[in-house]
A = this chain, B = another copy of it.
């Protein structure tokens, strides 16, 4: 027995490592064809605008930009977020990353054993956080259409009630979901909000990709359907730059009050200088100008990837066609094991994330999450060609099956 074996808390027993982050430890992302991360393309970071804005922040705020700040976030950034999303500023809390938004909501809402409902598959970082608090995470597979969705969730809710369990919240990424890339229709959103009302649980709406829409019309947020029951999480990572680690929570002030006190002991306040930079970027219109270019770039990359898959992937492989976001989701023939296949792909120089890791129940073994934002068009082209030939080879040889 090691020196520390009896030292750790019970929560530690439920921690699990992100397989995505483990990939990043193992390989240099720039040395392989990587469809694995959820990384924005570095070329979307407006370096010269950022340099100028940083200098302006130093001129305008001086030492205040490097001092401790308010736990809720600096007023300028809260006001800019409130104005952008047309919500009262009392409903805005700035977070040290959108991941912190997920984590702090779980912390203030759920006790060990409480049920957290989510889609199956769902965002890995959220599953890590839910499990780290020893909650009972239950994934619901989505069928198309509001009727089927209602039925699937009603079944999960009845099951939880039959098990004598408390449902604390439903976690949902309604826009361009990670990992599937798919969105909920307005009708589907309404069904889930109605179920939350009937069965009296909250909804955490995680919305990092919402502004990256390439086709179709914006669909109302779940928050807009019931602002007192839905907690809305946002992020600067995909619309500005993840290196600032800034996000926000929009919620009823009674919920934000608990988050505020929790955040005091978590890290006192979000990074202050970075918040002023983000506020200036938002307020000056630089963020929107840059976002417009980012959307054009990612739309072209998505189109490129869809065309390449069509052209190169063997029969029996299918994929989602997302209207926005960073990911599409590949489904291979039954029996294909994308975890076993992974080492071969990585040896050949191409990375993805095995879909099973996003599933709450060990299903999705024949799926892969594919990112289209990170690499250049040239490398996407070569990477899809390579991956397709490896998949074809595996399907032909049946070695991976």
Contact = CB atoms under 8 A, between A and B. Distances in A.
Interface of A: 2-4, 7-12, 15-18, 21, 24-25, 37, 39-40, 42-43, 45, 47, 50-51, 54-55, 58, 62-71, 96-97, 99-100, 102-103, 107-111, 114, 125, 128-129, 132, 168, 202, 228, 237, 241-245, 252, 254-255, 258, 261-262, 264-274
A62 B42 contact: yes
B40 A67 contact: yes
Contacts of A12: 108, 258, 262
Nearest to A131: B265
A4 B103 contact: no
A15 B262 CA distance: 7
A264 B63 contact: no
A67 to B, nearest CB: 6
A261 B42 CA distance: 26
A97 B12 CA distance: 21
A109 B11 CA distance: 9
A161 to B, nearest CB: 15
B241 A24 contact: no
Given A54-B54, A100-B267, A265-B128, A273 B258 contact: no
B67 A8 contact: no
A280 to B, nearest CB: 14
Task: Determine the main DSSP class of A at the interface with B.
Answer: helix
Task: Give the residue among A10, A47, A99, A264 with the most B Cβ atoms within 10 A.
Answer: A264
A45 B68 CA distance: 12
Closest 8 CB pairs between A and B?
A42-B63, A243-B272, A66-B241, A66-B243, A128-B265, A129-B265, A97-B267, A45-B66
B71 A21 contact: yes
Contacts of A21: 71, 264, 268
A242 B11 contact: no
A261 B9 CA distance: 14
B99 A8 contact: no
A242 B66 contact: yes
A245 B96 contact: yes
Given A65-B243, A66-B50, A66-B244, A125 B268 contact: yes
A11 to B, nearest CB: 6
Contact of A245 (B62, B252, B267): B267
B261 A103 contact: no
Contacts of A237: 68
A273 B243 contact: yes
A261 B17 contact: yes
A15 B264 CA distance: 10
A346 B397 CA distance: 79
A78 B16 CA distance: 24
A266 B45 contact: no
B267 A17 contact: no
Contacts of A47: 58, 62-63, 66
A102 to B, nearest CB: 8
B42 A264 contact: no
Contact of A255 (B4, B17, B102): B4
A202 B71 CA distance: 30
